[in-house]
Amino acid sequence: MRTTKITLLIIIGFLTTACHNDSNVSTELQDSGYDAALFSPSPQFKNHLVAAFVVPTDQASMSFQVSGIIEEQFIYIGDSVVKGQELFKVSNPSLAPQINQFKSEIEAIEATLKQNQVEVRRFKNLKQTNAISQNELDRLTNQRDNLLASKKSLEAQLEQAESLFDESYLRAPFAGNIAEIYKEAGEVISPGEVILVVGGITSLEAPIFLPAFLHKNLRQGDILEVLYDQNPIQATIKEISQTANPSSQLFKVMLDVPIMHGIKSGEKITVQIPEEIGEFFRLPIESVIDDGINQPFVFVIDNNQVIQSKISLIDIEGDEVIVKMPQQGEVEVVTAGQSKLSPQQKLIQP
């Protein structure tokens, strides 16, 4: 099938070379009219194209920590927000009375404590003259300690209630765009229920999922070529899983994608993953002779003699072919003018 592919891509006047196989034709040419170049085998890579979608590096699903009714909505899908900007407001009628109750109880305890401390000082003075017993002094002291403990507990509850009250506003955790909104003004919500999703705008990333034969040669920090709307971008591998997903048997790799060419969250990119396929020759496609019947070959110049060398096609990339040849090391391959040469032809040095 690959031979047929070459046949479609290469149209070489093979029939015009047939006459050179006649034994009556001179094996020496004064003006050969061919072009040749030196080639050596080298590690070759095959590029696999993997589709991916970019997402914000910072992304937050936001919710209230209190139940209530959404009172106000300040933003809409697609809006840009800055860090700390108010997004939603929720109303919980029970919070304010609860805070007031805690404050009243704390004030009452403080008044009792003030009176208790006066009594404790007076009892200590009376104890010095044995006007009261130690038990009476201990009772007042224990009462003071219990009041202090109650005050501390109420202050903790007040702090928590005030914290929840402050959370009646949902604020942006970072600069970004509103990606999704799940609730609107007037709806009842529960604690922890997701209201919206905010995506950051300062950096992007893209997850890709690869089989083991592509994953094994990648390392954290490697740079991969990415295409976005036909524009090249260099993405860096920031995370690489060493464990495959049990169901898909694919490894997750996370790329850090720079913001270039107007790329936005949710858009598609194409990632080029190189696979090393071995050490082979890379030749211009026009150097290959193929009539669609015989095994394709190239002409090699060895010691001023034309040698017909069969090749095995490994891959085609643009106007180049990756081939396996019997020769090792540097080889002179005819790249044009093959019709003026024949196998075993002896060339005259200029």
The total of structural domains in the chain comes to: 3
Helix (H) or strand (E) holding 259: none
CA distance 237 to 218: 8
Task: State whether 143 and 114 are in the same domain.
Answer: yes
Pick left, alpha or beta for residue 130 (phi over 0 → left; psi -120 to 50 → alpha; otherwise beta): left
> Is position 69 within any domain?
yes
Confidence of residue 3 (pLDDT cuts 50, 70, 90): very low
Condensed to tens digits (0 to 9), the pLDDT of residues 17-61 reads 333 333 333 334 444 589 999 999 999 988 899 999 999 988 899
Task: State whether 194 and 207 are in the same domain.
Answer: no
Which CATH number does the domain housing residue 216 bear? 2.40.30.170
Task: State whether 191 and 64 are in the same domain.
Answer: yes
> Is position 298 within any domain?
yes
> Is position 93 within any domain?
yes
Q: Report how far Cα 189 is from the mean position of its chain's Cα atoms.
A: 33
Answer with the one of 198, 214, 244 that is the final residue of a domain: 198
Task: State whether 178 and 227 are in the same domain.
Answer: no
Which of 87, 89, 67, 66 lies closest to 188 in space, CA to CA?
A: 67
Domain range for 108: 59-198
In percent, the amount of the chain with pLDDT more than 90 equals 48
Answer with the one of 177, 198, 219 that is the final residue of a domain: 198
pLDDT at 10: 39
Task: State whether 83 and 192 are in the same domain.
Answer: yes
Answer with the one of 266, 300, 320 that is the final residue of a domain: 266
Which residue type occupies 277?
I
pLDDT at 52: 96
Task: State whether 103 and 155 are in the same domain.
Answer: yes
Which CATH number does the domain housing residue 9 bear? 2.40.420.20
- pTM exceeding the 0.85 threshold for the entire prediction: no
Task: State whether 217 and 156 are in the same domain.
Answer: no
CA distance 310 to 194: 66
CA distance 61 to 73: 16
In this structure, the number of other CB atoms found within 10 A of the CB of residue 171 comes to 14
pLDDT at 234: 95
> Is position 50 within any domain?
no
Task: State whether 113 and 25 are in the same domain.
Answer: no
> Is position 146 within any domain?
yes
In this structure, the number of other CB atoms found within 10 A of the CB of residue 17 comes to 18
Q: Is the pLDDT of residue 320 over 90?
A: yes
Task: State whether 90 and 175 are in the same domain.
Answer: yes
Which of 176, 219, 187 lies closest to 78 in space, CA to CA?
A: 176
> Is position 271 within any domain?
no
Task: State whether 72 and 190 are in the same domain.
Answer: yes
> Is position 242 within any domain?
yes
Condensed to tens digits (0 to 9), the pLDDT of residues 188-223 reads 988 889 999 998 888 899 999 999 999 988 999 999
Task: State whether 15 and 140 are in the same domain.
Answer: no
> Is position 272 within any domain?
no
Task: State whether 93 and 181 are in the same domain.
Answer: yes
Condensed to tens digits (0 to 9), the pLDDT of residues 134-168 reads 777 677 778 878 878 887 887 777 676 666 565 57
